[in-house]
Amino acid sequence: MTTVTRTKETLVQRFDGYQPTKTILVWACGMTAVATMVIGFGWGGWVTAGSSLKTATAAGELANRELASAICVDKFRTAPDSAAKLVELKALPDSYKKRQFIEAGGWAVMPGQTSANSRIAESCSDVLSA
């Protein structure tokens, strides 16, 4: 009777001896690419060009509105009768009337423009009312 003794292969030896088929290699590469994209877009913070453009546009519009509002507030506060106008503004009952008050005073008209922007007037009145 012959006994065959086998030596247990280590993991490295088994890895060195493994020869996958071309099909397995192609599938492994494809699945790795898909997993990379899922992880990158899901948790890695990757974004598409369209969504980054939307985010940048929204941030630009917000910054523009905040700057214009700051200009409006400065124009209001440097007016000769600003203390009396501020009391009058705070006495108005709703935001619509306050926005109209700012627009009528001309404080929401930005340099180079001929008419007031209602969004700027609204944010200006919010800052002044606070």
For 63, counting Cβ atoms within 10 Å of its Cβ (0-12 exposed, 13-18 middle, 19+ buried), the class is: exposed
Q: Length of the chain, please?
A: 130
Q: What is the pLDDT along the chain (130 residues), one digit of tens a residue?
A: 566 666 788 888 888 888 889 999 999 999 999 999 999 999 999 999 999 999 999 999 999 999 999 999 999 999 889 899 999 999 998 889 999 999 999 999 988 888 888 889 999 999 998 8
The structure tokens listed for 5 are 């003794």
pLDDT value, residue 44 = 93
Instruction: Give CA separation, 33 vs 26, 27, 37, 43, 118, in Å.
Output: 11, 10, 6, 15, 49
**Measured distance CA(24)–CA(41) in Å, rounded:** 26
pLDDT value, residue 121 = 92
pTM confidence score? 0.65
pLDDT value, residue 13 = 86
Instruction: Give CA separation, 78 vs 7, 54, 83, 85, 99, in Å.
Output: 91, 36, 10, 11, 18
pLDDT value, residue 111 = 86
